[in-house]
Structure 1
Amino acid sequence: MTHRFPIKEIARQSGLGTATVDRVLNDRAHVSPQTRARVEAALAELEAQERQLSARGRRMFVDVVVEAPHRFSRQVRAACEAVLPDVTEAVYRPRFLLRETMTEDEIVAALARIKKRGSQGIILKARDVSTVAGAVKDLEAAGIPVVTLVTDIPQSDRSAYVGIDNTKAGFTAAYLLANLLPEPTGTVLTSRSQETFQGEAERFFSFREQFLSLRPNYEVLEVTGGAGLSMKTKRRFVEGLENVASVDAVYSMGGGNRAILDALKDTGFAPRHFIAHDLDADNLSLLTQGEIGFVLHHDLHHDMRQALRAVSARHGLFPKTDLQLLSDVQIITPYNIPGLIG
């Protein structure tokens, strides 16, 4: 395998041992496809980082750990790589661990591995559970700052939260639907991918509180689960709609919206209004096709700049930042889609 980087550097980037990297590079036996793919990815990342080495500053590794469907984690990676040249106080070398689903034990084990091999910072999208919060506390105590992204772990002593203001997002969705729905009574269906994502919980509880204060005779029905993945989400919705008489609108906080729409069609429902989150490829297509009416969006490029600078601040390379770096809630319709989707 052709390369121009020291084996130790490739090993640090990939998170593998030098002996393992040497076996891959020299095409020796007993190397799994997954290991080979990690080395290939590390080489591609090093080549990309080399292109921004003209920036003068300290070289720092940052680990981006995300539990989310690929449609969203791809956006996170693209946004991170796009803003690297903008962050001039250090030359950041990102390492990505992007998984559609991870158990609590898998998340904790991944964070422990990062702690063991060393890192200058972690950008983390994970569940708000005690085991993960404990792992984050351990990392912070070891001098590795953790910045939570789009969903917070507030009891974890993380260095900062970066992302959309989830409470405002819930209030915004409530205001929109309360003014769009003409009938005095009805049912609004809400969807969360998981109960343990704190950001989605904030959206749900603020939405329900505000919507019912404006439309007290409506019912807010909740369906949770599916992790935003198509088959799992559709199955959860088909089950959740079995004893429902009508659905007038949908507020989807966790994605999987094609699957939600398919489940609604299969069970005979055609809600007038559908509010989703994030301009990923699926939602962009559904929005332009008229399948959903509004997307509550935030600028991931801005978020990633903020996250990297929060890490820099912990190392004394940037002025001290706030513990919460909140993004504005943008209401996107088919007529004001941003020209650049991260």
Structure 2
Amino acid sequence: MAKPTVHDIAREAGVSLSTVDRVLNGRADVRPKNAERVRAAVEKLGYVRDTHAANLARQRQYRFVFVLPEGANHFVETIVAAVQEASGTQVIDRASVEILLVNAADPHAVVDRLRTLDLDALDGVAIMVPETPQVRDAIAHIKSAGIYVVAFVSDLPNTRCHHFVGIDNFSAGQTAGALLGKFLRNETGSILVVTNSMVARDSIERRFGLDEVLSRDFPKLKALPTIEFYDDPQRIHETLSHALATHSDLKAVYSMGSGNAAMLDALKENSVAGELVVIAHDLTSVTRQALLDGDIDAVIAQNVGHLVRSTLRVLRAKCDGTTIFEAQEQIRIEIIIRENLY
């Protein structure tokens, strides 16, 4: 049986082809009665729109922007590489993909950079910055212009973004707690918890997940208050040296964010590299080598290529008003050790 066409919809609804086109494209200049007739005909005939063909016919060109933290961050470097790789494959889908780097530690600087976006020519934004009142207001302004916004890697729940693409960070923290507990089974001691900033939602959720598992399943292990590094290598060195000197029962380090290179250097300078259990996040050139060298015991990772491709699919689906397949877009937590390093 032949698939129904727009001509079939027009005949069934008793309206013109132009009216059908306006309804299918979400335009408002259609009488409510006629729009209802078209929607009823679509449902009755089982019409499924070929958005790819429709976009080609209209010469539709998507424009998407990834807003990412600037500075020395090996994880962001892997994301940039994945965006650049994916953008080449998106040409057939008529998509232009750009990267906007921002000073994520300064919310006012983030807002200033977001103001440089040409909202009249933009379709969607994927944003990876901490949630602050200033950022929430900027995202609300972008959304008010009819642009779709996806929270990327770290959720922004109070901004009411159109979607979140990333792992469940609370579950990632629970995973870290379970790994530490199993690596340190039957031992008693402290765990040093470090991250770049606790303003980032992913670090907050990971810390909550860690604490829940340790308190429930491994009460002999005590997670120390989180230490923030603020992208300062000197602070990392001083903090780790102080922690090692202060906590004689220190058994492990859990790194919830970036700054792993300086952390690993500090552990080597204090001659404890390989002696403490170290759990980190995200597979980068630094964490990969540390796994090979035995300086990191496990990395809790997420497939960066999947992250980027999923974000582009979600943004296109939002623009086209089509269904997002949640199972396909679910970003899974991976546990990488030296023996399964890919």
What TM-score results when the alignment is normalised by the length of structure 2?
0.75
Instruction: Judge conservation of contact 1:170–1:203 (CA < 8 Å) in 2.
Output: yes
Q: Closer, same or farther in 2 for the Cα pair 1:184/1:289, shift >3 Å?
A: closer
Deviation of 1:240 (Å): 4.9
Deviation of 1:139 (Å): 0.9
- How many Å separate the matches in 2 of 1:303 and 1:126? 16
Q: Percent identity?
A: 27
- Indicate the SS of the match to 1:113: coil
- How many Å separate the matches in 2 of 1:132 and 1:292? 34
- How many Å separate the matches in 1 of 2:103 and 2:247? 30
Q: 1:302 aligns with which of 296, 306, 309?
A: 306
Q: 2:141 aligns with which of 138, 160, 163?
A: 138
Larger Rg: 2
Does 2:62 match 1:91? Answer: no
The residue that corresponds to 1:67 in the other structure is: 69
Q: 1:313 aligns with which of 314, 317, 320?
A: 317
Deviation of 1:83 (Å): 2.3
Q: Which segments of 5 or more consecutive residues in structure 1 lack a partner in the other structure?
A: 1-54
Pairing 1:270-309 to 2, within 5 Å after superposition: 271-309=275-313
The residue that corresponds to 1:172 in the other structure is: 175
Instruction: Judge conservation of contact 1:278–1:298 (CA < 8 Å) in 2.
Output: yes
- Quote the RMSD (CA, aligned, Å): 2.6
- How many Å separate the matches in 1 of 2:283 and 2:251? 23
Deviation of 1:200 (Å): 1.3
- Indicate the SS of the match to 1:208: helix
- How many Å separate the matches in 2 of 1:228 and 1:72? 13
Pairing 1:202-281 to 2, within 5 Å after superposition: 202-228=205-231, 230-241=233-244, 243-267=246-270, 269=272, 271-281=275-285
Deviation of 1:222 (Å): 3.1
- Indicate the SS of the match to 1:164: coil
Pairing 1:117-156 to 2, within 5 Å after superposition: 118-156=121-159
- How many Å separate the matches in 1 of 2:64 and 2:292? 36
Instruction: Judge conservation of contact 1:167–1:206 (CA < 8 Å) in 2.
Output: yes
- How many Å separate the matches in 2 of 1:281 and 1:198? 24
- How many equivalent residue pairs? 284
Instruction: Judge conservation of contact 1:233–1:260 (CA < 8 Å) in 2.
Output: yes
Instruction: Judge conservation of contact 1:89–1:312 (CA < 8 Å) in 2.
Output: no
- How many Å separate the matches in 2 of 1:285 and 1:308? 30
Deviation of 1:275 (Å): 0.8
Q: Closer, same or farther in 2 for the Cα pair 1:221/1:326, shift >3 Å?
A: farther
What TM-score results when the alignment is normalised by the length of structure 1?
0.75
Q: Could you tell me which amino acid in structure 2 is paired with residue 63 of structure 1?
A: V
Deviation of 1:326 (Å): 3.6
- How many Å separate the matches in 2 of 1:226 and 1:333? 25
Q: Which segments of 5 or more consecutive residues in structure 2 lack a partner in the other structure?
A: 1-54
